Structure 1
Amino acid sequence: MAVERHSQSELASPLNRKRLVERVNGLQALFERVCLIVEKDRIKPGDTARPFQRTRYYDTTLAALVRSGLKLLWSNGPEDSAALLVELTRLEQRKSHGISVPLEVKSGHREQALQMYLSMPSVNYVHALNLCHNFRTIGQLINSSIEVLQTGGCMSRSRAEEVYRFLRYSCDSFLMNTSK
């Protein structure tokens, strides 16, 4: 799961649209579930509180985010956002989707493997860490079945299938080009 936080005014501004679309697409490529916390704008000291004015653009943006598969969560401020993050973390732990391997790799060999795993499409940092800690060698990973990739990478079947296809296509293409 990935969680991103934006203020209402950021989502209401057409100037942020391209960056928001790129960010959402990138997160959806790497994570199974993407949540967006929409946080009320902060009131600066000395300013008077004025209600947020919803616009057609703002409502259209929210509708597009929901249609794209994002889960929208609403927050009154940073404290609410922090509480939402705690609840989302607990939910992921209950579903056994928490990070269960060390957050670092110690040896140079594993660091190189981590970088290689991160270069693969649809593999995020947590997947790469799981692959690093659950496969002794890159060769072992390459020769794994979809089911073994799914278990070792702690990823969905569809993501494991993508990695499997990538490994088969990339390795076959590389070997065919070097054998000439």
Structure 2
Amino acid sequence: MILMSPAEPGRKFIDSPAMTQGHGTVSLKSRNRNSRQLLSSSEDEQYQKERVVSPEIMCSLKSRIANKQNVANVTRNQLSTSHILDASANMTISKEKEERIRRQKEKQEEFRKHLIAKQQNNVSVDNTKNYCDDTALLTRRDLTNTDENSLLTEDSDLLLNTTKPSNNKSVIIVDSREINGAQDIVSTLRFNHDINVVAAQLDSCDYVVSVRMGVDRKQWSEFSNGTNRAKMTERLLEMCDFYERPCLIIEKDKCKPEEKGRILHWTKYVDKTLVHLIQSKMTLFFTENQLETASIVADLCQLENRKNCAISCPINLNTDQQNRVKFYRSIPHLSYVHCLFLCNNYKTVASFLCSDVKTIMTNGKMTEERASNVYNYIRRTFDTQMLPSNYG
């Protein structure tokens, strides 16, 4: 039997085999816990060490940040400087542009003034030439008729403007329907014969070659068709009334190449019509195609020019002149060319209404018989009771 001392009351319990085994398990757990704590503390210390930045690194970072800020400031300053330079450059460019535009306007204004002065000089020269031509014309007429010259010099309302255009081209007035129906004739007259072709609405013929000559063109099928007899007769009578030398061109129809040898359809109606035309003052021409028609029209125009019967008045009219031409065309026995001459040789319609037969004949480029008919028409008497009482 072993006795325990009071100072060691639990020794036997600890030293017992069962207690010794349990104490070993507890110590193992404590050691594991301590090791885990040591590991966690070492990791925390390592993390703290990693988080701690050395002063050298901090200084380098601060220097880098300062450099970046300096670079940003320099870039900002450069951008502001570039914006200022761009603005100043734009202002300079705008000023240069305004200055260039101003110089261009000054040059344009100077050129406009120079052009106006040149046109005025040309107008004065043309007026001088017109005056000389009119003086020569009046002198020639004075040799034949002194009374006519005296009447012209006394009338202050007349504007003698009967000279040829400045381009010295012959003028032919063509009906507007011929522009679409006979393009080859119009083109040939313009380009091959160098003739100034002017389109207008004509009533009694297709071409006005001169003051006294009108030309009408008919195709053979239209001429030989008896159903068109009344219409054709009326048109030819009107042409004989308006012009002293009417002409009729009978043009062969266009045919296919295999029909070139075909004989024309000749009837008693054609013979009778030709006989009546030959007995009248009508001049007949027969052509094969539109080129021959254009050649004949050009030859007639040159012939009339040599006889001093060309269309020498201005053709381009303003609105007021067009209205006056409409008024003159309402008078019987006046052709379109006569109306043009009256419009250009009279300032107003009142001066025309106050003229006598000789003056109308001279300024209208017409015969004495026609001028007398016009004078009688504008001076005719009528019953005032036949006027309408209400003009509204």
Same fold? TM cut 0.5:
yes
* Structure with the larger helix share: 2
1:22 correspondence with 2:234:
yes
- Identity, % of aligned positions: 33
Kindly report which structure 2 residues correspond to 1:123-138, keeping only aligned pairs within 5 A, or say none.
123-138=334-349
TM-score, length of structure 2 as denominator length = 0.42
| Corresponding residue for residue 118 of structure 1 | 329
| Corresponding residue for residue 256 of structure 2 | 44
Cα shift at 1:60: 0.6
| Corresponding residue for residue 153 of structure 1 | 364
Per-residue displacement from partner, 1:150-179 (whole Å, max 9, x unpaired)?
A: 11001111111111111111xx4387977x
Q: Distance in 2 between matches of 1:31 and 1:165?
A: 19
Judge conservation of contact 1:11–1:61 (CA < 8 Å) in 2. no
| Corresponding residue for residue 82 of structure 1 | 294
Cα shift at 1:111: 2.3
TM-score, length of structure 1 as denominator length = 0.89
Per-residue displacement from partner, 1:39-79 (whole Å, max 9, x unpaired)?
A: 22322245353121422211111111222321111212211
| Corresponding residue for residue 55 of structure 1 | 267
1:13 correspondence with 2:225:
yes
1:166 correspondence with 2:377:
yes
Gaps of 5+ in 1: none
Cα shift at 1:38: 1.4
Q: Distance in 2 between matches of 1:117 and 1:80?
A: 34
1:104 correspondence with 2:313:
no
Per-residue displacement from partner, 1:78-114 (whole Å, max 9, x unpaired)?
A: 11111100011011111211111111321x3322211
Gaps of 5+ in 2: 1-212, 388-392
- More RCO (CA 8 Å, sep 6+): 1
Moved over 4 A (4+): 174-178
**How many residue pairs align between the two structures?**
176
CA RMSD of aligned residues (A): 2.1
Q: Which has the larger radius of gyration?
A: 2
